[in-house]
Every structure is written in structure tokens, then in C-alpha cells.
Amino acid sequence: MTRLFNEPAAFADEMIEGFVASHGRWVKRVSGGVVRNTQSTPDTVALVIGGGSGHYPAFAGLVGQGLAHGAAMGNLFASPSAQQVFNVAKAANNGAGVLLGYGNYAGDVLHFNQAQDRLRKEGIDCRSIAVTDDVSSAPLAERTKRRGIAGDLTVFKVAAAAAEAGYSMDDVVAIAERANDRTRSFGVAFTGCTLPGADHPLFSVPEGRMAVGMGIHGEPGIGEDDIPTADELAELLVSKLLTEVPEGVDLNGARVVPILNGLGSVKYEELFVVYRRVAQLLAEAGLEAVDPQVGELVTSFDMAGTSLTLFWLDDELETLWNAPADAPAFRRGAVTAAALEASDGGELADVELSIPDATTESRAGAVRILAALGAAKAVVDANADELGRIDAIAGDGDHGIGMERGVRAAVDAARDAVTRGAGAATTLHFAADAWADKAGGTSGALWGMALRAVGDAVGDTKAPDAGAVAAGVAGAAAAIMDFGKAKPGDKTLVDVLVPFRDALAAGVNAGLSLTEAWGAAATVAQQAAEDTAQLLPLMGRARPHAEKSLGTPDAGAVSMALIVRAIHNTLIEQTTIKEKA
């Protein structure tokens, strides 16, 4: 378990502060993460990587000359927000564009794509590479759905070396994609990991058993087996990966980089015993091991486990893999010393956003919106542990924590907006941006989009009425389904949002007041959330463990149903106050 922490919610920020204080030769802090503290060659492509915290050396430990130019650092096991990625990419840009690199998880895809769109709108050439090396997370025919685990290192290292060598953006992207196509990983775990402040691990494995094919965010394995000997484990890992030799590779005489990665609690000495047999098996298969890596490269807090990665080389990939690099957690060869960047005072300061003019009616609506967000915060705080428990059954267990961070930030931002005289739309827009930025993860992106869509519909010129609110909910559903690609039946919050949208619209069209229509729709939402228990997840981190979630509702669906019911209670209170006035 994680023993050394202060306030669990502050763990990620305090960790970053300490990392920068101890590694100032390589990195400096910017809003959203870290960037190189050395000057990079002008007019070269910059590689910005990132993901949730809790995986060191990934991702910040890979920032330095010859490797990444910056790392966007999300909260624990939660993707960085689009704002964080945008900030780091802007700071890291050398003038020839930015390549964003990340593991293929739904939240990371959403946030990094949003940041990519924003960078392009500012005239910065921006591309992305989502690493998909985990063979256990999807069949070969569906490789684009696979997760990124320890194979992140090979893709990032090759892409960074190409950028350092002056490759064009098109060529950097092409070589990164080739590295991804030639990287395969497979892992096992003997215990789950425990987040700071939690009193139990995100998943557990029976004594004497191991989880096979688990993820790096506390997701349980796709199966279990008896704990083998070190040699037997090596045989399992190698045999699994040799069933997926990349197309065009001749097994006899092929050159591979083997990476035996410790996930947090398996000691280096144990890894060396396992690698002893891995090396023998690779040689027996006719392979030549090049530059083996044994140690902790992508971890998961205190998870006891290991993964094996095979990176299948060609001449160009080998040259780039062997190129010099100097980062806190990965060094090789001798890089040409670069001058330190001039200090800019540390982390970028938050910019106070201006408040557009609003009518008296809209400002009164903003006060009611703040009350609704306060009710959402109260119900999330009260149910955070249960939401985490539900999420941990097939996912990573962080939904409750993420929702708490998001809704608290939204309330604070909305309160600030109301205090400064904001209207309904501006209040919702401030809340949306704060929720997405502080929560990170998939839920942060989607709730940010939802609040923004409602804000767009209600505006700042009149009191939010039933028709505008219903239109905003419809806009939220459309935006979320278009961006996240989820549809009803995929076991996500969309399974609640769509029937809620339809019931709200039906009530408004029938002439009901907003309070009445919302109440009827909230009842529909509650039933829809309960019904997700019988669905199999087809999106997100729970998808590889679909059968485990049967009988349990989706955490995102449950949290949405709880929130819309809590908001209905505030609408009733506001109606009662009006009637008494």
C-alpha cells in the first residue's frame, strides 16, 4: 500500500513538486506538467508524452535530451486534461510542430485529441501516436483497441531520437507508427495496487494465484493462474509474445529489444532471475537480444507484477533506439551538453478570465446553477467510495476520486463566476473548464463537454427556461456521443444520458415546467442506470474485462443518475421558495 502521503487529493501535485526539485538538471515545471530544462534545437519536432500519475518513471522520468521534450501529468491513474496537454505542448514547441504520445486509453485519447485540435487552431502542426502494445487487451484483428503499457518506452524513444536527428513531422510520425507496430507486451500481477488514502487495493488476487493480462491502472487481469516458478513465468511470457511476430519479420536471426518491466513491488533480483530464462528462450527461438532492459520502466504504485515487451528491430529502428539520451530515468551514450533554459519563474500563473456582460435574469439563473452544482458535489462526496468500488470491479477504481475532483473544481469556478457577476452561460463555461481540467480522465472530458453544451444553449441574456435547458441536454448528448463514440448499449453514461434527454424533451414538449419535466426524466435516468448492470462494456478500460462487470451497473451511469436526481431536489427547493415569496 502507499504509506507516505499528506492529503490524498494533493498527492499528485506534491509528487510533481518534489520530482522537479530533485531533477532540476533535466526538467522544469510548467502548468500541466514538466518540460526540458535545457535548450532544444530550434525548428525540430517536439515530442510531448503523458498520462496519469502513478507510473513513474513514466512519464516525467522520460523528459530530457534525446527523449521527450515535455510530459503532461494527470492525477493518479487519470489522463491529463486537454488544458494540461495544451499548456505543456505550447511550452515544449520548438517551431516545427508537436507530436503527442500516450497510451491508448479512452480518457487520454479524448483529452490529447482535444489539445491537438486547439494547437492546430493556433497554427501549430500537431499529430498523435497512441501506443497499443498490450496483447492481452484485444485480439490482433482489433489492435487499435489495445492498451499501451511498457511498450510506451520503445515508441517514445524512437520518435524522440528521430525528432532530435531533424526528421520532418511526417517522418517522425511514420517511424513512431512503425515502432508501435513492432512492439508487443504481456504482463502478470500477484497483487493489486493501493492508491494513497485507500484502505484496500483496486483488485486482489487469491493467495498463490496470479492475474494474467492485467492493466497498469489497477484493472484486474483477464484471467488467473497458479503462481509459477521464475522459469515457468519466463516461458509463459515468451511463448505468448512469440505467437505475435510482426508481419514481415523472419523469426530466425531477428533482432529484438527485450524489456522485462517491474510494476512496483517485484524486486530487481527477482526480475534478473526471470530474465535469465527469458534470454535462454529468445536464443533458442533464433532471436538476438539487443540492449536488454530489466527494471522499473512503467509502474503501477505498489502492484507486484511484471511484463515482458519485445521490440522487433530493423536497421533504422535500431539506430534510433541506440541514439544517446539523457533523462532522469533513462540514459545512454553521451549527449552534447545543452545550455539551461532561462528561468521564467516556474509554473505558469493562472490567467483570470474576463466576465462578459449578462442580464439580471441570467445572473439570477447563474445563482441557481451554482446551487445545482453544489447539490451535485454533495451527492458525489457522499457516494465517492461506492462509485470507486463499482468502477474497480472491471475498471481502475478511480471514478469516485475523479468525480470528486471535478465537481469540487466546478463548484469553486462557478462560485467565483457568480461572485463576479457572471450570467448562466459563463458560469457553466467556467465550471465546465474547471471540471475537465481538474478531474482529467474520461469522465472529466465528458462532464466538461456536457456543462459547456448546456451553457451554450442557455446563454447570458435571459433566464434559463425549460426549452433552453432541454436543448442544452440534447447538445450535451450529441457532443459526447460524437466525441467519445459511445452509443446506447455500450455500458457508459450515455445509457443514462440519452433516455434522460428524451424524457426531458418529452416533458417540456408536453408543457410541463422544468422542475416537473426534470423530475420525471430523473426517474427514467435512475432506472436506466440500474439497467446497465445487465450490459457488457464495449468502451473504455472495463471493455477487456466485460464479463466481470455483469450484474454491476456502470459507475459513470450511476454517478450521472445520482447527479440529475440531486439537481431535481434543488429545483424543487427553488420552486418552493418562489411560491412562498
Nearest CA to 152 among 118, 108, 112, 104? Answer: 104
* Cell output for 203: 483488485
Q: How many of the other CB atoms lie within 10 Å of CB of 478?
A: 13
DSSP states of 11-33: HHHHHHHHHHHH-TTTEEEETTE
Eight-class DSSP state of 79: P
Q: How many of the other CB atoms lie within 10 Å of CB of 46?
A: 27
- Three-class secondary structure of residue 51 per DSSP: strand
Q: How many of the other CB atoms lie within 10 Å of CB of 438?
A: 25
**For residues 357 and 425, is the Cβ–Cβ distance under 8 A?**
no
Q: Is 197 left (phi over 0), alpha (psi -120 to 50) or beta?
A: left
For 254-270, the three-class secondary structure string (H helix, E strand, C coil) is CEEEEEEEECECCCHHH
Max Cα–Cα distance, the chain, nearest Å: 85
Nearest CA to 169 among 213, 119, 236, 210? Answer: 119
187 φ, ψ to 5°?
A: -140, 165
The arrangement of strands across the sheet holding 27-30 comes to 27-30, 33-36, 70-76, 46-53, 98-103, 126-131
62 φ, ψ to 5°?
A: -105, 15
* Cell output for 393: 470491479
Alpha helix positions (H), 344-420: 360-392, 399-419
**For residues 236 and 260, is the Cβ–Cβ distance under 8 A?**
no
Q: Which of 55, 111, 217, 399 is catalytic?
A: 217
End-to-end CA distance of the chain: 55
**For residues 544 and 137, is the Cβ–Cβ distance under 8 A?**
yes
Strands 33-36 and 70-76: antiparallel
73 φ, ψ to 5°?
A: -120, 110
CA 438 to chain centre: 12
Residue 377 amino acid letter: K
* Cell output for 42: 530550434
**For residues 425 and 453, is the Cβ–Cβ distance under 8 A?**
no
Q: How many helices and strands (H and E) does the chain possess?
A: 16, 15
> How many whole angstroms separate alpha carbon 439 and alpha carbon 75?
8
Catalytic residue flag (residue 545): no
> How many whole angstroms separate alpha carbon 579 and alpha carbon 581?
6
- Three-class secondary structure of residue 130 per DSSP: strand
DSSP states of 517-529: HHHHHHHHHHHHH
> How many whole angstroms separate alpha carbon 437 and alpha carbon 453?
16
Residues designated as active site: 217
